[in-house]
Amino acid sequence: MTAQPDATSPAPGPADVSLGIGKLIVPSVIGGLVALTLGVYGGLHHPTGVVVNIAGFSSAGYVKSWLATIATFFAIVQVGSALVMYGKIPRVTAPSWIGMLHQWSGRIAFLAAVPVAVDCLYGLGFQTYSTRVLIHSVLGCAFFGAFTVKMLILPKRGLPGWTLPVAGAVVFIVLVGVWFTSAFWFFSTFGIHH
Ligand code: HEM
């Protein structure tokens, strides 16, 4: 979480605000480059087809769709725990373990998403053969760019208070978009099983 403004400290002036916003430039450029690099790699690399499958699953598509669903579930826990931490849920006081829940749900969501994205990038590549697949490819790359931005601004002090919530919301919305254009479509087309 960002440091909450101290009630005794003076309100930030325009110079402080622009300095704070200036601190976003480098993380945003790096995040943009991460997304772009993945997209260019996914476009240039010759897709190899399925990379991995796991015993017990009928196809790699199911492994990926369940992992993507696990990632999205833990991302929802991330948003819920953030809302509790920021005091946005009426009548709910943040328990002492909420920060831990927030960190671990984020780690699990990311760890679940990485192998799926590796399979997508390496095995399927950046594809444009339908609007859904194009949106999925763009959002898949954008997810890692947005995640990079969030991680890079996390330790920074002096940023405007809205920065981290906005970065977190963008990562979440992009992941939900990735899920809708892949796992949701996959389950709706082939059925929900493993
Ligand atoms: C957070 C990252 C990502 C997640 C969670 C994810 C998840 C999935 C899932 C669950 C599927 C359906 C299973 C399958 O058809 O194999 C899929 C398909 C696909 N993904 Fe990803 N993906 C991610 C990133 C990417 C990236 C970065 C690219 C390419 C740049 C990409 C390209 C594709 C393509 C082309 C398909 C096949 C779509 C189809 O024909 O239905 N994905 N993805």
Which own/partner contact pairs does 128-137 have at CB distance under 8 Å and 24+ positions apart? 132/181, 132/185, 133/181, 135/177, 135/181, 136/178, 136/181, 136/182, 137/39, 137/42
Look at residue 8 in the predicted model and tell me its pLDDT: 54
- Could you tell me the pLDDT band of residue 116, with boundaries at 50, 70 and 90? very high
Average pLDDT over residues 109-123: 97
Using DSSP's 3-state secondary structure scheme, residue 12 falls into coil
Mean pLDDT of 64-69: 98
Rg (CA), the chain: 19
Token digits of residue 4: 């909450």
Pair of tokens at residue 63 = 């492994």
Asked if pLDDT for residue 50 goes beyond 80, the answer is no
Query: Mind listing the pLDDT tens digit for each residue in 119-140?
Result: 999 999 999 999 999 999 999 9
Answer for the pair 4, 161: CB distance below 8 angstroms, yes or no: yes
- Residue 11 pLDDT greater than 90, yes or no: no
Most ligand 1 atoms within 8 A of CB, residue of 133, 136, 143, 172 to mutate: 136
What was the pLDDT predicted at 74?
Answer: 98
Residue 182 · residue 71 · CB < 8 Å: no
Output the pLDDT for position 4.
46
What tokens appear for 97 in the block?
């373990």
Phi, psi dihedral angles at 191 (to 5 degrees): 95, 155
Task: Name all residues whose Cβ lies below 6 A of ligand 1.
Answer: 38-39, 42, 61, 64-65, 68, 71, 113, 116-117, 120-121, 124, 126-127, 133, 136-137, 140-141, 143, 178, 182-183, 186
What pLDDT, on the 0 to 100 scale, is given for residue 12?
Answer: 67
d(CA 178, CA 56): 25
User: Which burial class, exposed, middle or buried, applies to 6 when counting CB atoms under 10 A from its CB (0-12, 13-18, 19+)?
Assistant: exposed
pLDDT tops 80 at residue 33: yes
- 64 Cα–ligand 1 center, Å: 8
Please tell me the residue having the least CA distance from ligand 1 atom 14: 61
pLDDT band at 13 (very low <50, low <70, confident <90, very high): low
